[in-house]
A = this chain, B = another copy of it.
């Protein structure tokens, strides 16, 4: 019989899984549930949730509707606004993102000027800046080395990161700042889901006959998983859906590894697994 091993951290990270569950739970007690922006960058999953009555908020919702803050979080000022409009707000902000909100305010209260290493226009960063403003702190977003000019002549600088920040870039920015600033305090708020997923591929890919990477063809973190796996196992394939699985890939195979990008829901992983089992009845090694 074929053995199928799914990497433990394949697919949704903890924060997204939690946000989707909160949305599903809310949809049971409310007629219509809105999310502020798509809850995840995965069209299939967004469609599935739509059928449960959960859809991204597109226009002014009617008084009394339920609005869900997705895992990225939002500025507290925005949350207040929604509440003033009479909406029921449910906070599904990832706890790791909440930790960033706390970190910037802690650093600000200690007199640090805040550097958020991350993307200027990312919803998570916009939310964090809102929290920093609300607690009376001052700071800036650093997306590239040029942005460091904002930090010139600052005596005390406190650094946090967008949770999905690349470790390599964070490290470089912190190193650079350590030479510019007399006193530097860093709270590393990078979430390790991404690196865990990559580490698992390093371990899993060389031990299986075929490696399947599931996720959007336009998803950066999925492509990265594919590149790592392919470098370790030439029989590595990237699919978005179970329909794309080619039976020929499984000829004589005994062991299949599966991983998936951060925006791939469990049910797609499950469907891929079921389809592989079907294919294997005919194609895999029967010994």
Contact = CB atoms under 8 A, between A and B. Distances in A.
Given A171-B176, A175-B171, A175-B175, A185 B185 contact: yes
A22 to B, nearest CB: 27
A186 interface: yes
B172 A183 contact: no
A181 interface: yes
Contacts of A179: 167, 170-171, 188, 190
Nearest to A185: B185
A176 B168 CA distance: 9
A178 B195 CA distance: 14
A4 interface: no
A167 B174 CA distance: 13
B185 A186 contact: yes
Contacts of A167: 179
B178 A174 contact: yes
Given A174-B184, A182-B188, A183-B188, 13 more contacts: A170-B178, A170-B179, A171-B176, A171-B179, A174-B175, A175-B175, A179-B188, A181-B186, A183-B185, A184-B185, A184-B188, A185-B185, A185-B186
